[in-house]
Amino acid sequence: MLVLGVESSCDETALALVGDDGVAASVMATQADLHALFGGVVPELASREHARLIGPLLDELWRASGLTWNDVDRIAVTRGPGLLGSLLVGLAFAKALALGRGLPLIGVNHLHAHLLAAGLPPDEERLAFPALGVLVSGGHTHLYRMDGPTALTALGRTVDDAAGEAFDKAARVLGFPYPGGIHIDRAAQQGRRGQYKLPKPKVNGSDFDFSFSGLKTAVINISHHAQQVGEQIDVNNLAADFQGTVADILTDHLMRAAEHTGANKIVVAGGVSANSGLRAALSKACEERGYPLYLPQLSLCGDNAAMIGSQAYYEYRAGVRGDLSLNGVASMPVDKIFY
Ligand code: KG4
Ligand code: ZN
């Protein structure tokens, strides 16, 4: 079975071919430079860029894979969550292809798909279950129990900022362009932890929910205070303290949840899973406890279509089918699976 995956939920236009042996080809056009001019994603511009790029990207996919339409059995597309205008470009494209080629269509939950990227062969092992999955992206921070590729139960989520959002906002005040996570990561590698005291916000009444806004605000306050009194911030050290604290929070949550649920295979995905400090902290904690750890290869941490094709591969096997009434959903309750 070979699935053509289509992803257009935010500012990356992506297509991929995923089959029994894993990813046959994966291509992507990012709009990051365009949106960086505005300090964040501009939805109207994102939709227009998707519409401009998605056709030429299909030609690029055939070139990269050496495959043709004759090899494709299914079409998969991100249904949501995401920017509605952006989602609709991918959905209209996927529906037209499914109709034109007479192929089954499968709508995919973007958040669930992210988690499967951690197990995508040929470069990574397939995931083992039961697992605990944490999705850390620009818009979401969710903790799931995963009993199978399509059997996810939400255990916790952020009550305020997503981890990636906190990275981007802290980066902005430190003078880095959008998206700032990668810049904090690079600065932190040049810095040392311990100079700046940062809070680890707790969430009342929940063991597994997250909060990052207090931590982000602390970085903003330190920076503003330094400006007011004419002091120089050590950007590398502040980045190291911020990144280290985010990594501590995520690692603590995962280890506690693993102990609590007995699901001790650890899956981490989403843009922030590319973070070197987080990857190191998780590797250490999992190694100490003997927990298997699944991290996506760096190119599959952020938005991509390989994860969409992969999720659809499993959903099709589980009996899920879509039709031309498939529509975009801007936000989806985390504890419901939508098709
Ligand atoms: O999953 P993703 O590509 O898009 C969403 O679905 O949101 O995540 C994007 C987020 C951004 O906030 C970006 O700053 C962050 O991932 N990110 C990182 C790193 N690379 C990307 N954050 C920390 N360290 C990184 N190396
Ligand atoms: Zn995403």
Residue 122, pLDDT > 80, answer no
Ligand nearest to the CA of 41: 1
Q: Which atom of ligand 1 lies nearest, measured to the CA of 302?
A: 3
> Ion ligand 2 — residues with CB under 5 Å?
137, 303
Q: Which atom of ligand 1 lies nearest, measured to the CA of 165?
A: 12
Q: What is the pLDDT of residues 12-47, one digit of tens each?
A: 999 999 998 889 999 999 998 999 899 889 999 999
CA angle 90, 165, 120 (to 5 degrees): 55
What pLDDT is recorded for position 338? 45
CA–CA dist 325, 26 (Å, integer): 27
CA–CA dist 36, 45 (Å, integer): 12
Binding pocket residue ranges, ligand 1, CB within 6 Å: 10, 137-139, 164, 167-168, 179-182, 185, 270-272, 274-275, 302-303
- CA of 86 from ligand 2 middle (Å) equals 13
Task: For ligand 1, pick from 11, 31, 83, 182 the residue to mutate: most ligand atoms within 8 Å of CB.
Answer: 182
Strands 105-109 and 22-30: unpaired
Ligand nearest to the CA of 138: 1
- CA of 124 from ligand 2 middle (Å) equals 19
- Phi, then psi, of 71 in degrees rounded to 5: -85, -15
Q: If you take atom 23 of ligand 1, which residue's CA is the nearest one?
A: 181
Strands 265-269 and 293-294: parallel
Helices (H), the chain: 32-36, 43-65, 84-101, 110-116, 163-173, 181-190, 213-229, 235-261, 276-289, 306-317
Q: What is the pLDDT of residues 142-151, one digit of tens each?
A: 999 999 988 8
CB 162 within 8 A of CB 215: no
Helices 276-289, 235-261: axis angle to 10 degrees equals 40
Q: What is the largest CA-CA distance in the chain?
A: 67
Closest CA to 94 of 109, 79, 113, 116: 79
CB 262 within 8 A of CB 130: yes
Q: What is the pLDDT of residues 73-84, one digit of tens each?
A: 999 999 999 999
Q: Which residue has the tokens 């009993």?
A: 147
Burial 27-56 (b: 16+ CB within 10 A, else e): bbbbbeeebeeeeebbeebbbbbbbebbee
Q: Which atom of ligand 1 lies nearest, measured to the CA of 82?
A: 6
Strands 22-30 and 74-80: unpaired
Q: What is the pLDDT of residues 259-308, one digit of tens each?
A: 999 999 999 999 999 999 999 999 999 999 999 999 999 999 999 999 99
Task: For ligand 1, pick from 78, 137, 189 the residue to mutate: most ligand atoms within 8 Å of CB.
Answer: 137
Q: Which atom of ligand 1 lies nearest, measured to the CA of 12?
A: 3
- CA of 236 from ligand 2 middle (Å) equals 27
Task: For ligand 1, pick from 83, 168, 246, 272 the residue to mutate: most ligand atoms within 8 Å of CB.
Answer: 272
Q: Report the share of the chain in percent with pLDDT over 90.
A: 83
Q: What is the pLDDT of residues 205-256, one digit of tens each?
A: 778 999 999 999 999 999 999 999 999 999 999 999 999 999 999 999 999 9
Q: Which atom of ligand 1 lies nearest, measured to the CA of 277?
A: 24
Q: Taking all residues of the chain, what is their mean pLDDT, rounded to a whole number?
A: 93
Q: If you take atom 7 of ligand 1, which residue's CA is the nearest one?
A: 138
Residue type, 8: S
pTM strictly above 0.85: yes
Ligand nearest to the CA of 279: 1
CB 124 within 8 A of CB 294: yes
Which neighbouring-strand residues pair with 80?
109
Q: If you take atom 22 of ligand 1, which residue's CA is the nearest one?
A: 181
Burial zone of 337 (CB within 10 Å; 0-12 exposed, 13-18 middle, 19+ buried): middle
Q: What is the pLDDT of residues 1-14, one digit of tens each?
A: 899 999 999 999 99
CA–CA dist 15, 234 (Å, integer): 41
- CA of 230 from ligand 2 middle (Å) equals 39
